[in-house]
């Protein structure tokens, strides 16, 4: 139980720091680009999407190892135990789509819930960041 809490806290902290650093990097790089404003926005969108993909993969890898160990519960349903299935499960959690074809059992469910909450927060943060970047271009 304690180990699960430590793993969950570490994962959430890691992806939040990654997201912060990506947004910080984009906020420094985008204004320096000598290209049309609309292309700067596109670079910002692709940058945030890349950050989200990295974060989803981090959660997916964690699901893979936690489910494989058998000490944290399991994933069941349309699930073959592969890393790619864990990443798919992570994508559905992170985006809060939740198709329901893979279901968590045991204490791994807490990580699934944390990922959904974290994903919602980080996606919203990205949207706010892009809105702020776009308003800078509208003022010019």
pLDDT at 37: 83
Q: Which sequence spans correspond to the domains of the chain?
A: 2-139
pLDDT at 135: 84
- Does the pLDDT of residue 36 top 90, yes or no? no
Of the candidates 106, 110, 112, 113, which has an alpha carbon nearest to the alpha carbon of residue 86?
112
Higher pLDDT, 16 or 33: 16
pTM: 0.94
Place 139 in a pLDDT band, splitting at 50, 70 and 90: low
Does the domain at residues 2-139 carry the CATH identifier 3.90.1150.10? no
Of the candidates 52, 50, 21, 33, which has an alpha carbon nearest to the alpha carbon of residue 137?
33
Q: Which whole-number Å values give the CA distances from 57 to 10, 32, 40, 50, 51, in the listed order?
A: 15, 30, 26, 11, 10
pLDDT at 89: 97
**Per-residue DSSP letters for 32-97?**
H--S-HHHHHHHHHHHHHHHHHHHHHHHHHHHHHHHHHSSS-EEEES--S-HHHHHHHHHHHHTT-
Q: Average pLDDT over the chain, rounded to whole?
A: 94
pLDDT at 1: 79
pLDDT at 82: 98
Place 46 in a pLDDT band, splitting at 50, 70 and 90: very high
- Does the pLDDT of residue 76 top 70, yes or no? yes
pLDDT at 11: 97
Query: Environment class of residue 45 by beta-carbon count within 10 Å: exposed (0-12), middle (13-18) or buried (19+)?
Result: middle
For 112-129, what is the mean pLDDT? 97
Quote the distance between the C-alpha of residue 109 and its chain's center: 17
Cα(134)–Cα(129) distance, integer angstroms: 9
For 36-44, what is the mean pLDDT? 88
- Does the pLDDT of residue 87 top 90, yes or no? yes
Q: Which whole-number Å values give the CA distances from 85 to 34, 72, 79, 120, in the listed order?
A: 41, 17, 6, 21
């Amino acid at each position: 139980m304690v180990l699960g809490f430590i793993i969950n806290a570490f994962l959430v902290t890691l992806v939040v720091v990654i997201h912060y650093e990506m947004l910080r990097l984009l906020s420094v790089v985008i204004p320096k680009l000598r290209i049309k404003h609309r292309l700067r926005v596109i670079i910002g969108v692709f940058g945030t999407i890349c950050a989200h993909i990295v974060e989803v993969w981090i959660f997916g890898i964690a699901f893979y190892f936690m489910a494989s160990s058998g000490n944290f519960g399991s994933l069941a349903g349309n699930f073959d135990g592969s890393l790619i299935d864990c990443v798919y499960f992570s994508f559905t959690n992170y985006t809060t789509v939740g198709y329901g074809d893979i279901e968590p059992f045991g204490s791994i469910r807490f990580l699934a819930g944390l990922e959904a909450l974290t994903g919602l927060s980080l996606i919203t943060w990205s949207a706010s960041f892009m809105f702020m970047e776009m308003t800078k271009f509208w003022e010019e």
